């Protein structure tokens, strides 16, 4: 699966798409594939603060529980309620099934994240492929 060029990526396998000052955050295809079938997503509430590189929730799969790390600092403006009853949406469409939306405090934080080509190279290094 190609990684969308308009997204930025973390080394912990989250993606963010910035639209104005709102960042939409999810996990990558590599992450969902590594986790297997996702059965539960734990997320913050609207209005909660998130901090760049800090945990904001977790994803539970049949294999493991994995922490979610925020790519940016900001305030949660929306939570994907659909994931409460259908967490497997992430497995079906990892780059379309967002987890939270954040009012980004400092958009320049995205400059420190990986672009799609750098992320693909990073995944290749991790997998040795």
Task: Report the pLDDT value the prediction gives residue 2, as an integer from 0 to 100.
Answer: 84
Q: Once rounded to an integer, what is the mean pLDDT over residues 81-110?
A: 97
The answer, yes or no, to whether residue 126 has pLDDT greater than 90, is no
The structure's pTM equals 0.96
Q: How confident is the model at residue 128 (pLDDT cuts 50, 70, 90)?
A: confident
pLDDT, tens digit, 9 for 90 and up, residues 28-39: 999 999 999 999
% of the chain beyond a pLDDT of 90: 95
Q: What is the CATH number of domain 8-106+114-124?
A: 2.40.50.100
Domain extents for the chain? 8-106+114-124
H-helix or E-strand spanning residue 107? none
Identify the sign of the CA torsion 66, 53, 97, 124: negative
Question: What does 11-37 look like in DSSP terms, one character per residue?
Answer: TTSEEEEEETTEEEEEE-HHHHHHH-S
The answer, yes or no, to whether residue 40 has pLDDT greater than 80, is yes
The answer, yes or no, to whether residue 1 has pLDDT greater than 70, is no
């Amino acid at each position: 699966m190609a990684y969308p060029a308009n997204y930025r990526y973390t080394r912990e396998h989250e993606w963010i798409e910035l639209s104005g000052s709102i960042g939409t955050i999810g996990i990558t295809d590599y992450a969902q594939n590594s986790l297997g079938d996702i059965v539960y997503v734990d997320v913050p509430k609207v209005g909660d603060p998130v901090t760049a590189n800090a945990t904001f929730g977790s994803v539970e799969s049949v294999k493991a529980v994995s922490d979610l790390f925020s790519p940016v600092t900001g305030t949660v403006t929306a939570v994907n309620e659909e994931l409460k009853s259908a967490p497997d949406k992430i497995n079906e469409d990892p780059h379309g099934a967002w987890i939270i939306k954040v009012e980004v405090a400092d958009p320049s934080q995205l400059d420190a994240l990986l672009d799609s080509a750098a992320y693909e190279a990073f995944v290749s290094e991790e997998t040795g492929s």
